A = this chain, B = another copy of it.
Amino acid sequence: MIGSGMKKIILQNEPIDMAQMLHEVESDSDGAVVSFVGKVRKNSRGKNVLHLEYEAYREMARKELAKAADEAEEKWGISNCLVAHRFGRIEVGEASIIIAVSSPHRHEAFLAAQYLIDTVKKKVPIWKKEYYSDGSSWINDKE
């Protein structure tokens, strides 16, 4: 990774500790922290979701996320950023992804956070399987 800011990529099986994640990107010279939390919804495509499973090509996902973080720093001069994605089984209401970005001013932090989640949805090799009462299905359409 390039630049002087902290950039942290976390891929883990365990639940994500939101307060901890936000704490990690803090610095006294930053006035803005923008975060995005993606959570498992109980409804998807008209079906009742029981739980999800995420699979990741972990080494490559880590590389792609690190590239996206570098790009966000280059484009918007953000200070610190963190992307944490869970894999394995995740229950309805739990967070699958957390993105947190700190920056001296808010506009850059908003843009960078949006860029990071958009990149995850488009380019990072992670897949979601939804489990319903009557089966399961890999999701491969765009939202």
Chain A residues near B (Cβ < 8 Å)? 18-19, 22, 26, 28-43, 92-93, 104-106, 109-110, 113-114, 117, 143
Do B105 and A26 touch across chains, with their CB atoms under 8 A apart? no
Contact (Cβ within 8 A) B37 A22: yes
Contacts of A22 in B (CB 8 A): 18, 37
| In the complex, chain B residues whose CB is within 8 Å of the CB of A33 | 36-37, 39
Question: What distance in Å separates the Cβ of A1 from its nearest Cβ neighbour in chain B?
Answer: 24
**A117 contacts which of B28, B40, B43, B106 (Cβ < 8 Å)?**
B106
How far does the alpha carbon of A41 sit from the alpha carbon of B104 in the complex, in Å? Answer: 8
* Beta-carbon contact of B43 and A93 below 8 Å: no
Chain multiplicity (copies): 2
**Provided the pairs A34-B35, A35-B35, A143-B105 are in contact, do residues A43 and B29 lie with their beta carbons within 8 angstroms?**
yes
Residue of B whose beta carbon sits closest to that of A114: B110
By a CB distance below 8 angstroms, the chain B residues around A28 are 41-42, 92-93
> Do the beta carbons of B32 and A93 come within 8 Å of each other?
no
In the bound complex, residues from chain B placing their C-beta under 8 Å from that of A18 are 18-19, 22
Complex interface: chain B residues within 8 A of A42 (CB): 28-29
**A38 / chain B contacts, CB cutoff of 8 Å:** 31-32, 106
- Cβ distance A75 to chain B, nearest Cβ, rounded Å: 16
Top-9 shortest CB links A-B = A33-B37, A19-B19, A28-B42, A31-B41, A35-B35, A28-B93, A34-B36, A110-B114, A28-B92
